[in-house]
Each structure stands twice: as C-alpha cells, then as structure tokens.
Amino acid sequence: MMRLGQTDVQTAQEILRVASEPHYRDLFTRHLAKKGLQPKPQTDPLVGALNHGRLMARCVCRGAAALHPGWNFAGCLGCGRSWTSIVLPTAEQLDAIDLVLSVRPSYPERVVPRPFYSWTPGESLADLVRENWRITESRRSRGMEA
Amino acid sequence: MAVTAYVWVPGETITAAKLNTISDDLLELDAVAGFHDTQFGSITITGTNTTGDATVSAMSDRAWINYMGERVTDVGGLRLSKVNATTVRATRQSAADVGGGVVVCNFSIVDPRG
C-alpha cells in the first residue's frame, strides 16, 4: 500500500500480488513466455495515474500496468511493453490530489472501496474539485448520502 | 463528465465478488456519467443451456462490459447479462449455436498467471 494522507492506495504489490520489484520482473517474464509475447522495453517514461484507489498507468494497448512508487519497473502483462522510467506526481502534488479525492464517497466494506478515487494525468486540482461537486450533486439528486 | 471507469490491469485477479462490486460501483457512476465501458480480461464462460441439449463455452482475453441500462457484455460472441455474482445469462445471436435460446452459465475470471 501507498499511504496518501489518510488514504491507502493499492500498488503493484496488491494489484498483482508481487512482493518486490524482482518478483514483479519475474512474474512479467514468466507471463510473457507463457503467452508467447515478446518483451517490448520502452524508452519513453510511463506516466502514473490513480484509478479506483490503485496506482497504475494506462498502456497504449488499452491495457494497464501496475505501479509501485519505490520500484523502477512496470510492465503491461497484456502486450509485453515494459518501462524502467516511471513518472509520478511529486509527494506534494499527490498530497494535494489526495486532499480533493479523499472527500469523495468510499465504501470500506467493499472489495473496491474507493471507486471515485481516480486521477488522470493532465487533470488539475480544479478539475477534480469540479468533479467532486458533480458527484455530490448527482448523489443528492438521487437521494443518496452526498 | 469524465468519471473514470474501472481499468482492469492485466494480471490483476478479478473475483466474482470484485466484479460484482465494480458493477455496482459503475452503475452508480453511470448515473453520473451516463455511459461507461470497462475492460476486463480472460473471462471464461462455460455452461449448459436450460434444456440440457447443448453446451457452450467461450473465452475472451479482452471482454468488454457495456453498461447501457442493463449489465450486458459480449464475450466470444455470447451476449451476457449478469444475474448475480456467480451467474450470467448468455444468449447468442444465432439460437442454433446453443441449441435454442437462453443459456445459464457459470463464469470464472482466469488469473493469467495460471
């Protein structure tokens, strides 16, 4: 888990159940061999995102790669692309994003407890605040707890 | 409005309970955003039709679940609507494919790591 403010964000450890970066690399290699996929190391950096309370990045194949803030490896098990350069927002930026996202509804008892905890690269804090209002208004209009 | 849909990370295990939770979440999101596509992977469907005269199986590495008022998806040519966390109802456009009509199937979502 990665702790942002009071929020636990899932990382590659929880998403793929890998204990370490070498474990992630090993899983990736074995998976590609099993699927007959060729590894495709990428030179461009991979830009991280938050999706439903998980740290990940979209892949151009429309798949995704799980990320860990302390690891310099990520791979898309869907297509074989991999990255050793990963760009995440700074700690200050992540804290600011968490401040806005953490007020959104969450469901600790659910398997996916934070369905609204998402941030896409390029979204500004102002965008996220506007989205908070829309979520609140939508829920109120349907008689749900805002 | 761009409320982000759940993105399946290849290699991530999606249990039936998780799928159900995501579905509920997305139904809630649908009311906000109107429409969502969500990508899941390696969904295997097996089952026998209600009259017992045909079996059906399908597998897709890239199944798309579309939410347009009802929970429906197409997997391997099957049109699916989810009944509950462990059961989907599957039909094919050509009824002959399944020996006539509706097939009630169990579904499992395969962990690509085997």
CA distance B8 to chain A (A): 7
Beta bridge partners of A49: A56
Spell out which residues of chain A touch residue B63, defining contact as CB-CB under 8 Å. none
Spell out which residues of chain A touch residue B12, defining contact as CB-CB under 8 Å. 15-16, 66
Q: First CA to last CA across chain A, in angstroms?
A: 27
CA distance B57 to chain A (A): 21
Residue with tokens 């204990």: A19
Beta bridge partners of A9: A2
- Least confident piece of the model among A32-41, A103-112, A122-131, B44-53: B44-53
Q: Which tens digit of pLDDT belongs to each residue from B61-91?
A: 433 333 222 334 444 444 555 554 444 454 4
Q: Which tens digit of pLDDT belongs to each residue from B22-70?
A: 555 544 443 333 223 333 433 444 444 444 444 444 444 433 333 222 3
Choose from B4, B42, B111 for mutation: most chain A CBs within 10 A: B4
Distance CA B100, CA B102 (A): 7
Residue with tokens 């950096």: A45
What does pTM read for this prediction? 0.70
SS3 B50: coil
pLDDT confidence of residue B62: 38
Mean pLDDT over residues A76-92, rounded?
93
Report if residue B60 sits inside a domain.
yes
pLDDT confidence of residue A62: 66
Write the single-letter amino acid at A124: S
User: A12 vs B106, which has greater pLDDT?
Assistant: A12
Binary contact (A16, B12; C-beta < 8 A): yes
pLDDT confidence of residue A113: 85
Report if residue B55 sits inside a domain.
yes
Q: Which tens digit of pLDDT belongs to each residue from A16-65?
A: 999 999 999 999 999 889 878 899 999 999 999 999 899 999 888 767 89
Report if residue B37 sits inside a domain.
yes
pLDDT confidence of residue A27: 95
Of A77, A112, A138, nearest to B11 by CB-CB distance is A77
Residue with tokens 């953490």: A102
Report if residue B114 sits inside a domain.
no
Spell out which residues of chain B touch residue A58, defining contact as CB-CB under 8 Å. 7
Number of domains forming the structure of chain B: 1
Report if residue B10 sits inside a domain.
no
Residue A135's pLDDT band (cuts 50, 70, 90): confident
Q: Domain of B24? A: 16-109
pLDDT confidence of residue A14: 93
Token pair belonging to A78: 């869907």
Spell out which residues of chain B touch residue A135, defining contact as CB-CB under 8 Å. 3, 32
Report if residue B7 sits inside a domain.
no
Domain ranges of chain A: 2-87, 91-141
Q: Tell me the helix, strand and coil percentages in chain A, rounded to 5.
A: 30, 20, 45
Distance CA A29, CA A38 (A): 9
Report if residue B52 sits inside a domain.
yes
pLDDT at B16 over 60: no
Note whether A7 and A114 are within 8 A (CB). Answer: yes
Q: What is the DSSP letter of A114?
A: -
